[in-house]
Amino acid sequence: MLSRRGELPALAAIGLPKKTDGKFTPTDELAIAVESQMTNDYKRSKFRAEIVALDLFRNEHLPVVVVNPSAPVGPRDVKPTPTGQLILDFLNRKLPAYLDTGLNWVHVRDVAVGHILAAEKGKFGERYILGHAEGNWTMQEMLNMLEEITGLPAPKMKVPFWVALAAAHVDEAISRVTGRPPRAPLAGVRMAKYKMWFNPGKAFRELGLPQTPPKQALADAVEWFRANGYVKK
């Protein structure tokens, strides 16, 4: 997916954080992913597309700049996206428990600006993580922040990974019969095994990527969902 300067999104091509001495260290643009990490065709397509794009830069000298957004959240999430659906399920009281996972939360407006900055300032052949330096939260931390923003209680029950995986297999089977998308896709549950934490320092230093507080991103998403009829009264 190439634009005038060849920007290409998604963190699928960034290597996942590794655990050292019981702690996860956020990875940066130098961490290379392997295809075995790809849990679905969507992520695999991003991974392979980045390889093609960077090959075009190296072999054909095309002006390619790669951007890798983390977990964007904010207003105007019409569909909604998977991250937006998580917030919406919280607001509609459809989230009784959570998995022990983690994401790097970033305001969707910062991600949009990051694409423009990459087109204007990005170095050819380089990639930039569009995330937030303070956005590496566990799922429990994110839900506690939603509790603070909304006044609604966050779920307290943590689901073991093997239970969630078994439930996802059942959900996928039901989906094949009904034709409806699964509420807990198997690929998503498999990815939840990892803490998807990243270091966006390069984009901040070289592009001037904005750093809107993740709490503000969540609050903006909550306000928009409520104002546009997504939340049941």
| Domain at 19, CATH number | 3.40.50.720
| Contact between 123 and 214 (Cβ < 8 Å) | no
Q: Give the model's pLDDT for residue 57.
A: 95
- Per mean pLDDT, which range of 14-23, 57-66, 93-102, 149-158 is the poorest? 14-23
Q: Rg (Cα) of the chain, in Å, rounded?
A: 18
Q: Give the model's pLDDT for residue 164.
A: 77
121 or 161, which is more confident: 121
On the question of pLDDT at 202 being above 60, the answer is yes
Residue 94 belongs to some domain of the structure: yes
| Percent of the chain residues past pLDDT 70, beyond the cut | 93
Q: What is the pairing mode between strands 102-107 and 23-24?
A: unpaired
Q: Give the model's pLDDT for residue 2.
A: 36
Closest CA to 103 of 149, 145, 147, 72: 72
On the question of pLDDT at 158 being above 70, the answer is yes
Residue 48 belongs to some domain of the structure: yes
Residue 1 belongs to some domain of the structure: no
The overall average pLDDT reported for the chain is 88
Q: Give the model's pLDDT for residue 10.
A: 60
Closest CA to 220 of 108, 94, 104: 108
Q: 124-146: per-residue pLDDT in tens?
A: 999 999 999 999 999 999 999 99
User: By residue range, what is the domain housing residue 124?
Assistant: 11-224
What mean pLDDT is predicted for residues 35-48? Answer: 78
The count of structural domains within the chain is: 1
- Spatial distance between the Cα atoms of 102 and 43, rounded to a whole number of angstroms: 17
On the question of pLDDT at 7 being above 50, the answer is no
Q: Give the model's pLDDT for residue 44.
A: 83
Residue 56 belongs to some domain of the structure: yes
Residue 2 belongs to some domain of the structure: no
